């Protein structure tokens, strides 16, 4: 048999020409189907990856939400005494929320049976006996030992789900939502010691710049508390010569190697006189605490009101918009050359001339140091001029309304006896204004996770507006916006006024 060569045995296409188109069609169909399957596979893989990443992102957001610090993660330790509690308890009632806030008032002895403990009070505990501890400060009180141990006794209660221990006095008013906002910025798994100093330099020099003042309140993270309680008793004995409990705590924390993290919203209020100038120029930070509200040397927050009622008035605004309370805004009415300084929920200052932002953001010195001196303070101040024509017209909170659209309306009125009459013609239109109305959107706590910046405001001039009232709107600042007065004349009224003041 004749052999067939390999070249003739295999041919690329059949010899029958009619089969060629059919094979080409089959090849094309197969290729098309394979391409579809390939594309579908890629689509399924991509879809699964995207959906999986979305679900991961959702889960991570949920976990992050669960990890956020809330008021339930905070245990308060309030220094108190059985004798003083009846008078001081009303301040704690202003901010304490039964079944929401956690913690105790630590008393030196059990209250008398004829003095029932109200359900609106924080629950109380009686401090352990500290008579065996050493205390040699001749001008102090050994109750400082008992108070210093509150953080230890609070820790040893073994409460669950605690991230922060916050200490304060029975005349300290905390602003809980803002406290949570501040503490949420920090990793509670790390060692933190957070608080503020005294406003008076003389006090900081005597006590310390590196300690948190107990009246203004301070926060200790759980890990730091866990280390602190191990050395606290021996440490208290080592610092037996120190005057106060917060001095002792600060010294013991220093032995652990943790420095004070300062937050400007904690207010010790170590001042004499009227705090209105200080609170009218609050730093750009959440209001966390106020102290010494029941001390006779500190006048009421709002003139013409009692100490307690003036605090209640500020808390009335706080309950409507916690993050915005006491936040400072500056603006101008350029039609009348007026400068306005707004402390939301507290006061408005109207200056019938133009002032620069540097001056307006400084507290007007309506107060003295804790020892009664004129200065110095840990911040700059400007004079509280007694001359009527060099003083602002002051307005104080009258009412706050929720407009139900994410905004509030606050009204501020003049108070008899505060604004002295000035015969200058520039003052007359300003003195005719008896009320200032301010609208503002609710300020989200998330704003404090960003770089701090004052919000801007603008005067709403209406053609047919009532001359006895003024309308201001507070808002976020626009891009490139600044509070810059138009000082066209280098030697104009503003420059003259500044020279006269200085």
Question: How many other β-carbons are positioned within 10 Å of the β-carbon of residue 467?
Answer: 9
- pLDDT tens digit string along 392-405? 999 999 999 999 89
Indicate whether 420 pLDDT > 90.
no
> Which pLDDT belongs to residue 493?
52
Residue 68 CA, chain-centre distance (Å), reads 16
Q: Give residue-wise pLDDT tens across range 103-157.
A: 999 999 999 877 889 999 999 999 999 999 999 999 999 999 999 999 999 999 9
Contact predicate 329/357, CB 8 Å = no
3-class DSSP assignment, residue 493: helix
**CB atoms near residue 107 (< 10 Å):** 21
Task: Tell me: pLDDT of 279 over 50.
Answer: yes
- What DSSP element (H or E) covers 24? helix 19-67
Helix (H, G, I), strand (E, B) or coil at 294: coil
pLDDT of 497 over the 50 cut: no
Encoded tokens for 459? 């005067």
Checking if the pLDDT of 492 tops 50, the result is: no
Across residues 482-494, what is the average pLDDT?
Answer: 62
Task: State the Cα–Cα distance between residues 206 and 218, nearest whole angstrom.
Answer: 19
Q: pTM of the entire structure?
A: 0.84
Question: Percentage of residues in the chain with pLDDT exceeding 90?
Answer: 70
Nearby residues of 65 by Cβ (< 8 Å), 6 or more positions away: none
Check pLDDT > 80 for residue 266. Answer: yes
pLDDT at 416 over 80: no
Ramachandran region of residue 292, left (φ > 0), alpha (ψ -120 to 50) or beta?
Answer: left
pLDDT on residue 61: 45
> What are 73-92's pLDDT values in tens digits?
999 999 999 999 988 999 99
Q: What is the pLDDT of residue 9?
A: 45
Between these two residues, 424 and 289, which has the higher pLDDT value? 289
Name which of 64-68, 221-225, 251-255 the model is least confident about. 64-68
Q: How confident is the model at residue 380, as a pLDDT?
A: 95
In DSSP notation, 313-379 reads HHHHHHHH-GGGTT-EEEEEETTTTEEEEEETTTEEEEESS---HHHHTSPB--EEETTS-S--BSS
Question: If pLDDT is split at 50, 70 and 90, which confidence band does 260 have?
Answer: very high
Let me know: does 271 contact 291? Beta carbons within 8 Å: no
pLDDT of residue 404: 87
**Positions of E strands within 263-327:** 271-273, 289-290
Percent of the chain at pLDDT > 70 equals 82
Render pLDDT for 197-229 as a digit per residue (tens, 0 to 9): 999 999 999 999 999 999 999 999 999 999 999
Q: What's the pLDDT at 385?
A: 84
Tell me, rounded to whole angstroms, the distance of Cα 457 from its chain centroid: 20
Mean pLDDT of the chain: 87
Output the CA torsion 13→15→21→27 (10° steps).
-20
pLDDT tens digits for range 372-385: 899 999 999 999 98
Structure token digits, residue 302: 């709002």
In terms of pLDDT, which residue wins out, 427 or 69?
69
The more confidently predicted of residues 265 and 39 is 265
Q: Are 469 and 413 in contact (CB under 8 A)?
A: no
Q: Is the peptide bond before 231 cis (omega within 30 degrees of 0)?
A: no
Greater pLDDT, 280 or 1: 280
pLDDT in tens, 313-357: 999 999 999 999 999 999 999 888 999 999 999 999 999 999 999
Angle at 191 between CA 186 and CA 194, to 5 degrees: 60
**Residue 478 clears pLDDT 80, i.e. is over it:** yes
Quick one: pLDDT at residue 23? 52
Given a cut of 80, is residue 64 above it in pLDDT?
no
Rounded mean pLDDT, 271-276:
95
pLDDT class for 415, splitting at 50, 70, 90? Answer: confident
pLDDT, residue 463, reads 59
């Amino acid at each position: 048999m004749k052999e067939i060569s390999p070249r003739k045995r295999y041919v690329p296409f059949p010899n029958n020409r009619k089969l060629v188109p059919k094979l080409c069609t089959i090849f094309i169909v197969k290729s098309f189907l394979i391409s579809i399957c390939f594309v579908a596979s890629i689509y399924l893989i991509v879809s699964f990856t995207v959906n999986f990443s979305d679900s991961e992102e959702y889960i991570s957001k949920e976990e992050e939400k669960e990890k956020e610090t809330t008021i339930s993660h905070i245990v308060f330790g309030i220094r108190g005494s059985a004798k003083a509690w009846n008078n001081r308890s009303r301040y704690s009632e202003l901010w304490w929320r039964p079944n929401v806030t956690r913690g105790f008032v630590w008393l030196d002895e059990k209250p008398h049976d004829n003095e029932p403990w109200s359900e609106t009070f924080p629950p109380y505990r009686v401090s352990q006996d500290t008579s065996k501890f050493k205390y040699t400060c001749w001008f102090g009180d050994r109750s400082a030992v008992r108070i210093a141990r509150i953080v230890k006794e609070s820790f040893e209660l073994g409460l669950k789900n605690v991230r922060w221990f916050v200490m304060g006095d029975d005349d300290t008013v905390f602003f809980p939502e803002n406290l949570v906002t501040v503490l949420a910025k920090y990793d509670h798994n790390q060692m933190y010691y957070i608080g503020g100093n005294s406003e008076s330099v003389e006090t900081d020099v005597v006590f310390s710049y590196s300690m948190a003042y107990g009246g203004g309140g301070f926060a200790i993270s759980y890990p730091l508390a866990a280390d602190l309680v191990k050395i606290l008793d021996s440490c208290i004995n080592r610092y037996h010569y120190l005057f106060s409990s917060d001095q002792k705590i600060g010294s013991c924390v220093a032995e652990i190697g943790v420095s004070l993290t300062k937050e400007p919203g904690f207010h010790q209020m170590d001042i004499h006189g009227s705090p209105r100038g200080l609170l009218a120029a609050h730093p750009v930070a959440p209001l966390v605490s106020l102290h010494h509200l029941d001390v006779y040397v500190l006048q009421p927050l709002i003139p013409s009101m009692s100490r307690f009622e003036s605090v209640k008035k500020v808390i009335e605004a706080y309950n409507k918009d916690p993050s915005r309370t006491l936040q400072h805004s500056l603006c101008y009415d350029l039609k009348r050359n007026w400068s306005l300084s707004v402390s939301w929920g507290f006061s408005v200052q109207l200056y019938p001339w133009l002032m620069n932002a540097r001056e307006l953001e400084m507290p007007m010195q309506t107060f003295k140091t804790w020892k009664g001196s004129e200065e110095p303070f840990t911040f700059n101040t400007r004079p509280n001029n007694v001359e009527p024509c060099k003083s602002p017209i002051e307005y104080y909170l009258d009412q706050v309304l929720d407009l139900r659209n994410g905004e509030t309306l606050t009204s501020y009125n003049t108070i008899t006896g505060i604004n002295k009459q000035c015969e200058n013609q520039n003052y007359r239109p300003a003195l005719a204004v008896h009320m200032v109305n301010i609208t503002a959107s609710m300020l989200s706590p998330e704003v404090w996770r960003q770089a701090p910046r004052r919000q801007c405001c603008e005067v709403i001039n209406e053609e047919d507006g009532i001359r006895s009232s003024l309308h201001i709107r507070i808002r976020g600042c626009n891009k490139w916006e600044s509070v810059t007065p138009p000082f066209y004349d280098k030697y104009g009224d503003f420059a003259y006024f500044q020279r006269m003041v200085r």
